[in-house]
């Protein structure tokens, strides 16, 4: 991999230990991935949740901080493992919360934005079309490549910090035109898809596209950015998906042929049978859930407003909890607009800057979780400590409330 003079100086340590360490990571990854150079990025998105990074994550952030490191570009961060304001009332163990707060402090010392979210593209880190990014959150990577017209690889932990500290990323993978061409096609054959259908279709794509970039046709014109957010998130959970060509929605993609560059590719139908296949995979039990978890990825203010309407006049049944995860920006907006009050009048709770995927749900006393998130269902199910149920939101509300 070719470096310019400034990059070589940084690699030799002439710009400080933090940038030297970051350049060492970048060059090793770049060489391993066959990158020919490093390219500038407009923003980064990194991981700093304790449930995944543990002590090693704290040590790495503090090492960069002690070496004089500062983020070179705008840098947002994925949700934390605790709600920073309300963690005690959610029953999070104090020792666990304090470890997350160490990550809070280390991240902020490096110059990160005060924005802990997995939907930064809707809130605090909104790129322009054509920009190159270095984002670590899988749903955001799919969204940026598929709907914003940006370019980013799925950046792993450690590499994410290196990119943020240098403002550079190795040139490989989804940054290259030839790797963004669709090699397999899917067709959605379900009319008027529900919230669960969008998620199940995404998960099915992830399970069946392998390493190929997919194109998806058949989406209703009424599909919202939130619907496609959840579809992309589920796809990235089901397999190594970093981009989907959504016909009629992805910039420059008005047909399957446009996405494939005119090449004929295999077409896989996604109908009701395929949806039921996913639902069967993501359901472990039919027992009553003690927690309903909504918002993985985090819900937008529009989604919170819809939920407030759906919960109007209803109350949670005895023995049930409902946690609704959102960003701090949407939380504040919902507080000001009265949406939060309307949701919590049902007995549900709105929580920000965290989500169920990375929360210590077992330590908080939960054993069975009901959700409409394919990402949450698959992630928690794979850990084997909590049993998952996966259902449409209308069914969830009907079961959990009266």
Helix %, strand %, coil % of the chain (to 5) = 45, 15, 40
Start-to-end CA distance of the chain, whole Å, equals 62
pLDDT on residue 52: 87
**Helix, strand or coil for residue 151?**
strand
Q: Which residues of 146-184 are buried (b: 16+ CB within 10 A; e: fewer)?
A: bbbebbbbbbebbbbbbbbbbbbbbbbbbbeeeebbbbb
What residue has token string 């543990």?
Answer: 54
pLDDT on residue 280: 97
Distance between CA atoms of residues 273 and 278, nearest Å: 9
Which domains occur in the chain, in start order? 5-174 (3.30.499), 181-280 (3.40.50), 283-400 (3.30.499.10)
* Listed residue (163, 112, 107, 158) closest to 134, CA to CA: 163
Angle (nearest 5°) at CA 282 between 279 and 283: 85
Distance between CA atoms of residues 181 and 104, nearest Å: 39
pLDDT on residue 398: 97
pLDDT on residue 402: 94
Distance between CA atoms of residues 72 and 176, nearest Å: 23
Question: Phi/psi zone of residue 383: left (φ > 0), alpha (ψ -120 to 50 degrees), beta?
Answer: alpha
Phi, psi of 131 (to 5 degrees): -75, 150
pLDDT on residue 12: 97
* Listed residue (163, 60, 42) closest to 107, CA to CA: 60
**Helix, strand or coil for residue 91?**
coil
For residue 232, what are the contacts with CB-CB under 8 A and spacing of at least 6?
Answer: 139, 142, 143, 146, 147, 202, 241, 244
* Listed residue (48, 35, 51, 39) closest to 4, CA to CA: 39
pLDDT tens, residue order, the chain (402 aa): 999 999 999 999 999 999 999 999 999 999 999 999 999 999 999 999 999 888 988 999 989 999 999 999 999 999 999 999 999 999 999 999 999 999 999 999 999 998 999 999 999 999 999 999 999 999 999 999 999 999 999 999 999 999 999 999 999 999 999 999 999 999 999 999 999 999 999 999 999 999 999 999 999 999 999 999 999 999 999 999 999 999 999 999 999 999 999 999 999 999 999 999 999 999 999 999 999 999 999 999 999 999 999 999 999 999 899 999 999 999 999 999 999 999 999 999 999 999 999 999 999 999 999 999 999 999 999 877 899 999 999 999 999 999
């Amino acid at each position: 991999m070719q470096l310019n003079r400034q990059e070589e100086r940084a690699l030799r340590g002439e710009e400080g230990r933090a940038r030297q360490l970051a350049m060492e990571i970048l060059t090793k990854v770049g060489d391993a991935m066959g990158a020919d150079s490093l390219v500038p990025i407009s923003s980064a998105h990194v991981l700093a949740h304790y449930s995944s990074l543990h002590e090693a994550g704290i040590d790495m952030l503090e090492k960069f901080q002690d070496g004089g490191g500062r983020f070179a570009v705008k840098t947002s961060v994925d949700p934390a493992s605790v709600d920073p304001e309300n963690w005690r009332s959610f029953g999070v163990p104090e020792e666990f919360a304090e470890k997350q707060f160490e990550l809070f402090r280390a991240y902020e010392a490096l110059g990160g934005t005060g924005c802990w979210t997995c939907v930064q593209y809707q809130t605090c880190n909104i790129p322009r079309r054509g920009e190159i990014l270095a984002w670590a959150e899988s749903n955001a990577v799919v969204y940026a490549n598929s709907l914003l017209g940006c370019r980013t690889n799925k950046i792993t932990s450690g590499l994410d910090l290196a990119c943020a500290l240098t403002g550079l990323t190795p040139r490989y993978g989804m940054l290259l035109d030839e790797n963004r061409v669709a090699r397999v096609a899917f067709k959605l054959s379900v009319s008027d898809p529900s919230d669960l259908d969008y998620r199940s279709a995404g998960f099915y794509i992830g399970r069946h596209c392998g390493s190929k970039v997919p194109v998806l046709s058949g989406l209703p014109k009424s599909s919202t950015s939130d619907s496609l957010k959840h579809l992309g998130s589920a796809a990235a959970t089901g397999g190594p998906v970093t981009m989907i060509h959504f016909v009629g929605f992805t910039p420059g993609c008005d047909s399957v042929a446009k996405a494939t560059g005119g090449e004929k590719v295999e077409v896989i139908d996604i109908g009701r049978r395929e949806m039921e296949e996913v639902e069967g995979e993501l359901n472990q039990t039919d027992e009553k859930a003690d927690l309903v978890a909504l918002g993985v990825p985090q819900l937008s203010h529009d989604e919170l407003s819809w939920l407030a309407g759906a919960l109007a006049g209803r109350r949670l049944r005895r023995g049930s909890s409902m946690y609704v995860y959102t960003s701090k920006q949407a939380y504040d907006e919902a507080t000001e607009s009265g949406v939060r009050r309307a949701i919590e009048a049902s007995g549900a709770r709105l929580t920000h800057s965290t989500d169920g995927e990375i929360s210590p749900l077992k330590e908080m006393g939960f054993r069975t979780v009901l959700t409409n998130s394919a990402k949450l269902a698959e992630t928690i199910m794979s850990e084997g400590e909590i049993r998952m149920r996966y259902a449409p939101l209308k069914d969830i509300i009907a079961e959990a409330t009266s």
